[in-house]
Amino acid sequence: MSALRLVALAPLALAGSVLAANCPTLESRHPEGRGQKPAFEGQTRACATKSDVAFEVTVVAKGLEHPWAVEPLPNGDLLVTERPGRMRIVSASGQVGEPLANLPQVQARGQGGLLDVALSPTFGSDRTVYWAFTEPREGGNATSVARGVLSRDSKSLEQVRVIFQALPAYDGTHHFGSRLAFGPDGMLYVTTGDRSDRVMRPHAQRMDGHMGKTLRITPEGKPAPGNPFTGQAGAKPEIWSLGHRNIQAAAFDAQGRYWTVEHGARGGDELNLVEKGKNYGWPLQTFGIEYSGAAIEGSQTDRAGMERPVYYWDPVIAPAGAQFHSGTGFPAWKGNLFVGALREKRLVRLTIEGNRVTGEEHLLADRGKRVRDVREGRDGSLYLVTDESSGEVWRISPKR
């Protein structure tokens, strides 16, 4: 067990950000999107912040193959998914269990595989678990959601059934999205990606499919009542919002607002406050450029009728996993949003006031691990998984 204290990184020069001169930031590199400007102050490169919080990082478990999600159980154990297609229980003391039996077939190719996992809001009485995965289909694959009941001996999933299949299927290996989050309304919110390839990008703006969207479904997998496009000709009734590239982080805050963090291209990772029926722009509105260095054809950074991101990173952090902290474990972090970073190999902490980011702090950068997910346990500790061939589960808890 190692004890660490948070420290701010050294003040850095602004590099294209619209912020006051007395506001040091954590980023000094030139943006990938040369000449692109934020739409408002603080939309990118927020002030560097620090909190005088002492904490301990405990490596709970090792040897997991590309773990994708961690979900704390009421008894202190953890459900962990591994992208190749296994779901395990890791005990509070760090014992790694055998894979749970009865999962449906998973296609683990590229970024696809067994992805997110979430507990039913009534797990204490029904022991129901939901998970997202890449499902092999005729003509390719796509993101699906399944549910099952965790057996009393915690060795298998029972009454397993696939409750939702995103359309269309496509023979690809990227941008499956797929964070799950239950809202305060009891509905299940699901994120999808645009499938990456240029031929598929337009689907993020099309209403006849689920790609590049957030979706809102009932716990049984049906379109949720009150969805914005129900009854609209040619529109999928599960759609909640559109115009997303690849959302791999989503969380509700204490006010019940739905926030997502999505991967941009080369520049332009976005934090969005997602609202019913709104269009978040991709691929017509975005920051950043193509991986090739070319401009993103037909795109602008600000377009009428589309929602601006609350915040963006350029260069990118490659976000994965998000959690608002309740303040139970760390009162100084109450209401802060924690986001895993794959490319930058750290945990990002954002302070948010209203609907604006007011500060950013980077944690655990010295460990050099791709942080894939972050969740809060009932004790207020934060649990992380690292995306490595021999991945780990970490617990961040107050220093004793």
Nearest to 266 by CA among 294, 303, 298: 294
Residue 91 one-letter amino acid: S
Strands 140-150, 180-182: pairing is unpaired
All residues at 6 or more sequence positions from 389 whose CB lies less than 8 Å from its CB, including other chains? 65, 66
Please return the burial class of 233, using the count of CB atoms within 10 Å of its CB with bins 0-12, 13-18 and 19+: exposed
Strands 239-242, 247-252: pairing is unpaired
Query: What tokens appear for 26 in the block?
Result: 């954590």
Distance CA 13, CA 28 (A): 5
Please, are residues 56 and 398 in contact by the beta-carbon 8 Å criterion? yes
Strands 157-165, 180-182: pairing is unpaired
Distance CA 139, CA 365 (A): 41
The beta strands (E) that lie in 30-113 are given as 54-64, 67-72, 78-82, 86-90
Between vectors from CA 146 to CA 234 and to CA 129, what angle results, nearest 5°? Answer: 135
What are the angstrom distances between the C-alpha of 284 and each of 223, 270, 297, 308, 341?
27, 14, 8, 12, 25
The separation between CA 309 and the C-alpha centre of its own chain, rounded to angstroms, equals 15
Longest dimension (CA), the chain: 59
Which residues carry out catalysis? 175
Query: What tokens appear for 270 in the block?
Result: 């976005």
All residues at 6 or more sequence positions from 304 whose CB lies less than 8 Å from its CB, including other chains? none
